[in-house]
Each structure stands twice: as C-alpha cells, then as structure tokens.
Structure 1
C-alpha cells in the first residue's frame, strides 16, 4: 500500500501543482494583460490627445477660412503720414508764394512830353512830311 499511497499522494501533489501553476498563470496573464492594456490605453490616450488637438486645429483653420477674422488696421501711421505730407505741402506753397518774383520791366516810361500827334492821333491822309509844310 505504500506504493498506492505514494501514487495517490503524487496525484494529489500533481493536481495541486497544476492548480498552483494555473493560478500563477492566471496571475501572470492578468499582470501581462494589465500591462498590455495599460500600455495600449496610454498609447490610445496619447493618440486621442493628438487626434483631439488635430481636430481642434482643423476646426479653427476651417472657421478662419469660412469666416476670417478682421484684420486690424493700424490707423496711427497713416494719420501721421497724412499730417506730415500736409505740413510739407503747406510749407512748399508758402515758400513758393513768398518768393520775390522778377518784375517784367515792360516798355520804359518816356521822359519827354508827348506830341500833339501822339495825343490826338494823326489826321487821315496826312503824313509827317505834309504836316510840317514840305
């Protein structure tokens, strides 16, 4: 009976060993599954963040294309430029208008008194030689 007892005990020990190995396998499998799931979930989480950011950027880009934001007009430089050009124009015109112009001497004023012919004009049909008596 000692051989049968030894066999029974060996079977019992073998069954316990199989159960122990099975439990260890389940624990290891669970740990591996958790690790893989954790890695996959972290990768999926990172991927979802990237996709979410890309979708957000795409939505903003599409919104700007459909309805662009109004460009900010900087008016101050234009106002300053117009004022400077106006001041330059006023200064230029003032300089041109105040400059002394040359006076056209024209016909010199005679210093001798005019003759009767110059005052009254010449009689018709009479020349200078006829009026003096020659």
Structure 2
C-alpha cells in the first residue's frame, strides 16, 4: 500500500481447478484489499491446464472451471470490497517451461467457443450451446466424452 502501486495496476487471481467455491478465493481477495487494491481480474483457461501432454482438450473440465468463476463473480460483492475488472481467458501453450506443447489451438477451438459463450451468457445455457454449435458447424458436442 505504501508504494502506491495499487493506483496503477490490478492483480490477477488465477485458478484453474474445475470445481471450486468462492470461499477458496477469499484469502487472495483479502490480501489484495489489505494491500490497497480496489480492483481485481480473474483468470481462467480454455486449454492447457490439465496436463503436460494432452492431445485433446477436456471440454467438461474447462466448462466447469468457467461455471465456478461465474459463481465467484456473483459472490464478490459479499466477499470483498473489490471491483471485478474482467476475466482473462488464457490458453496455455505449455504446461510448464520444460514440457512439450499442450494441446494445440485447432483441437481446443470447441473449448474456447464453449468457455466464451458460458461467460457471455452467464452459464452454459441452451442458447449458449446453440451458438457454439452454429459457429462451429456442429450438430452436437459431447462434454463428458472429450477426454
């Protein structure tokens, strides 16, 4: 707080687990409030966070992560006096700096579409699913069979 950095930047809270509760984020939010920050970004991922050598993107894993973030976003006003700036939707190229490439972008496009529509629609609604299918030119998508 003494450096004045909180006036110029906003921290990012990264969390990539598929299922988590808003209360798990509270320690991070509390730390940032105590440090003088007034706003925060959240970070999710549409690919790359599930292992160092994935060939396919597990759709349900990433969808669940975004659904969890939506719950956190709804809970922020009661959890901490912070303004949510937005969500950084990441797509990892490498699981870590010593690994081979994660799943490549072409195979993760369905996940990107699902995650974006989930954030835009506030959930993976029938409307969101229809938009994903229309944009991708698909008749259906199997969330649980994508691993």
Q: TM-score range by the shorter chain?
A: under 0.3
**TM-score, structure 2 as length reference:** 0.16
Larger radius of gyration: 1
**TM-score, structure 1 as length reference:** 0.17
